[in-house]
Amino acid sequence: MIAQARDKSKRSLAAEVLRSGLHLRLRAMGTSMLPTLWPGDLLTIESVAVEQAKRGDLILFMREGRFFVHRLIAKVEADAMLITRGDCLSAGDAPVSAKEFLGKVVQVQRRGLSFAPSPRLSRVRLVIARLLCHFSPLQRLTLGIYARYRAAHFDLALAEDAC
């Protein structure tokens, strides 16, 4: 219960940081944005006005005390509602309100390098996303391979030869 309260207050603090115009850095944990984002990626979130969010942006929103980073796929201007979906999910989220919206991802750090996330999901990635979405054993296998690769991206065989 204490841990839950602490997590909730952390999330509220993070939301407050963004709303005050500062940057926030979060570690990606989930799999809903594969293959665009991977568990362990470090995301830099910038506070922007909801009107400035564009189709293709990866946006951060908070719902029921949890953070979500999903892709903005449409805007319903009249209601200032955002339509979002995880790249690896088959269905969209419930529309995101301006109150839930916190900012957008401007930088991803992975394996020691940084890059700005691409606003479009290429055909190749779309196919990968659909495969990972519909075949959970494939997703588990891919994540397992990725975790091993992340832990040993240098040539370990070389190291073992010399030991």
Q: Does 40 bind another protein (CB under 8 A)?
A: yes
Identity of the residue numbered 64: E
CA angle at 146 for the pair 142 and 147, rounded to the nearest 5°: 120
Q: Does 2 bind another protein (CB under 8 A)?
A: no
- Near another protein by CB under 8 A, which window of 20-28, 47-55, 94-102, 130-138? 20-28
109 within 8 A of 38, measured Cβ to Cβ: no
- Residue of the chain from 1, 20, 112, 137 that contacts another protein (CB under 8 A): 112
Length of the chain: 163
- Residue of the chain from 27, 54, 63, 130 that contacts another protein (CB under 8 A): 27
53 within 8 A of 72, measured Cβ to Cβ: yes
- Residue of the chain from 11, 73, 98, 125 that contacts another protein (CB under 8 A): 125
In the complex with another protein, which residue's Cβ is closer, 76 or 119?
119
Residue numbers 41-80 binding another protein by CB under 8 A? 41-42, 44
- Residue of the chain from 107, 131, 139, 146 that contacts another protein (CB under 8 A): 107
User: Cβ of residue 126: shortest distance to another protein, in angstroms?
Assistant: 11
DSSP string, 21-84: T--EEEE---STTTTTS-TT-EEEEE---GGG--TT-EEEEEETTEEEEEEEEEEEGGGTEEEE
- What residues are paired with 26 via a beta bridge? 43
Q: Does 155 bind another protein (CB under 8 A)?
A: yes
> How many chain residues interact with another protein (CB under 8 A)?
33
For residues 46 and 59, give the distance between their C-alpha atoms in angstroms, rounded to a whole number: 9
- Binding residues for another protein (CB under 8 A): 23, 25, 27, 40-42, 44, 107, 109-118, 122, 124-125, 150-156, 158-160, 162-163
